[in-house]
Amino acid sequence: MHIVNTETDRTVTEEAWNAYLFAHGRGSLYAMAQWGELVREVYGHRDIRLAALERRHGVDEVVGVLPLVAMRSRIFGHKLVSMPYVDMAGVVADTPEIEQALVTRALEIGRETGSRCVEVRQAGSLGSFDGQETLDMGAGVYTLTVARDKARMVLCLPSSSKDLWSSFKSKLRNQISRGTRDGLSARVGGDELVAPFYTVFAENMRDLGSPVHSKKLFHRVMERFSGKANIILVEKDGEPVSAAVVCSFGKALQNPWASTRRRFNKMSPNMLLYWRMLEFACDAGHTTFDFGRSTPGEGTYRFKKQWGPEPHPLHWYRFTPGEQPRSEGPAGERDRFGKAMAFWKKLPVPVTRVIGPMVRGQISL
């Protein structure tokens, strides 16, 4: 078995990489080759894809992959992440030994690039690393911390949206219907809905005190995942009120981004938005819907829980060079800037749309 970096070795094509992910039970949307490419195109970060190859029947076959992005920031320092801006990607491998080999190579690249840490975001446990705090990986000694404070909310779907609607309690159905009674409407589209989506998204991010992603990111998602990515838009008399991006991976539909303009909250547009996403998922033949990550007990977790999903704890592994005390997790990137967030909330939305992407691209969350 040997490991190649697709930056310099073209042995593993984009098609072969993605085919391995689709065939493997732990493959994910965010580990696909296109995801790292669009991050590079939008923010200029280095896209690194490590593939483990094994000779079988005279042919090199993919037996493991690890996508990474090298984030270089004057504000937050340099680090390798698999993958930034999303819940998970991480290592997908046939055996624990291959899993370890891929992580070891990532740590070597981390040292070569002067990264302060390597962060591997997994949907589940990396069993070969659990229970360890100090590791001698061959690439050096590392302190390992694992954050498990957030969970994906995943709903198993019936074969039709009609069956899903019938499974809801009357209270939930009434909350969904309220929006249409108040004149809200919903539609599904693609790249042509990026502009109204971004109107909603940018305003909501400003209200949260968070720099907004570049609009280009969403255009690239629609382009790179054409036929697999859609935007759900809720409107009131033609004005965008609430919106979300959904992307499919096999039989799963995932929701990486959703936002609502607060001034319309009294109409409960979120209820119509999420119902329309679930309806779309069922009617398109998906078997699961991933609401994205939430912190158990918080408001967004409770909102998602009412739809009936089950929580699946995320495992974010953070490898820091040396035997160091526990360092802050990825959330610290925002926690350290509480005053900045309060200031950001006061900025005009047009200003945040200009300067926000320059900051947001450096924040891995």
DSSP tally for the chain: helices H, then strands E: 12, 16
Question: Distance (Å, rounded) from C-alpha 256 to C-alpha 228?
Answer: 13
Question: Distance (Å, rounded) from C-alpha 309 to C-alpha 318?
Answer: 28
Pull the structure tokens for residue 281: 């998922």
Q: What residues are paired with 317 via a beta bridge?
A: 120, 146
Tens-place pLDDT, residues 264-285: 999 999 999 999 999 999 999 9
- Structure pTM? 0.91
Domains of the chain: 2-148+314-330 (3.40.630.30), 152-312 (3.40.630.30)
* pLDDT value at residue 73: 83
Long-range contacts of 34-37 (CB under 8 A, 24+ apart): 34/224, 34/225, 35/67, 35/83, 35/86, 35/89, 35/224, 36/67, 36/68, 36/69, 36/83, 37/224
Please report where in the chains the tokens 């967004």 appear, as a residue. 300
* pLDDT value at residue 70: 96
Q: Which residue ranges in the chain fall short of pLDDT 70?
A: 138-139, 324-337
Estimate the share of the chain in helix, then strand, then coil, as percent rounded to the nearest 5.
40, 30, 35
* pLDDT value at residue 338: 72
Report residue 259: phi and psi, to 5°: -150, 155
Question: Distance (Å, rounded) from C-alpha 7 to C-alpha 148?
Answer: 31
* pLDDT value at residue 336: 59
* pLDDT value at residue 337: 67
**Are 143 and 274 within 8 A, CB to CB?**
no
* pLDDT value at residue 292: 94
Within 127-268, residue ranges assigned H as helices are 161-167, 170-181, 194-208, 215-224
**Among 107, 82, 78, 80, CA closest to 92:** 82
Nearest 5°: CA angle at 198, between 193 and 202?
165
* pLDDT value at residue 119: 96
* pLDDT value at residue 72: 87
* pLDDT value at residue 319: 93
* pLDDT value at residue 328: 53
